[in-house]
């Protein structure tokens, strides 16, 4: 799923970030994306992780890593992006 070997499909990344990037930190490291693109992708990933968290609270099984862990990773990536913008 890594982004280095191919061009990033921005529309797909905005729709389903996990289908384009392995981790939220890959979004931050991606070349060729604007800061706004990265924010948009991370915001969508945050919404997806939050929805997964609610679903697991309702008893739905989790396929991969925990939604809470994913949400933390998304928030960390968003904070890194915010800090880099302030420089």
Domain ranges of the chain: 10-86
pLDDT, one tens digit per residue, over 27-78 is 999 998 999 999 999 999 999 999 888 887 667 666 666 878 889 999 999 9
Quickly list H helices, the chain. Answer: 10-15, 24-29, 35-57, 67-86
For residues 6-34, average pLDDT: 92
pTM of the model: 0.79
Nearest of 33, 60, 65, 27 to residue 45 by alpha carbon: 27
Task: For residues 22 and 32, give the distance between their C-alpha atoms in angstroms, rounded to a whole number.
Answer: 17
Q: For the chain, what's the residue count?
A: 87
Report which of residues 54 and 21 the model is more confident about.
21
Q: How far apart are the first and last CA of the chain?
A: 30
Q: What is the pLDDT of residue 4?
A: 45
């Amino acid at each position: 799923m890594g982004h280095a070997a191919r061009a990033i499909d921005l529309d797909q990344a905005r729709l389903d970030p996990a289908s384009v990037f392995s981790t939220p930190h890959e979004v931050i490291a991606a070349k060729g994306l604007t800061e706004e693109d990265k924010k948009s992708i991370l915001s969508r990933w945050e919404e997806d992780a939050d929805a997964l968290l609610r679903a697991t609270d309702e008893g739905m099984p989790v396929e991969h890593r925990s939604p809470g862990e994913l949400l933390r990773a998304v928030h960390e990536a968003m904070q890194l992006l915010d800090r880099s913008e302030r420089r």
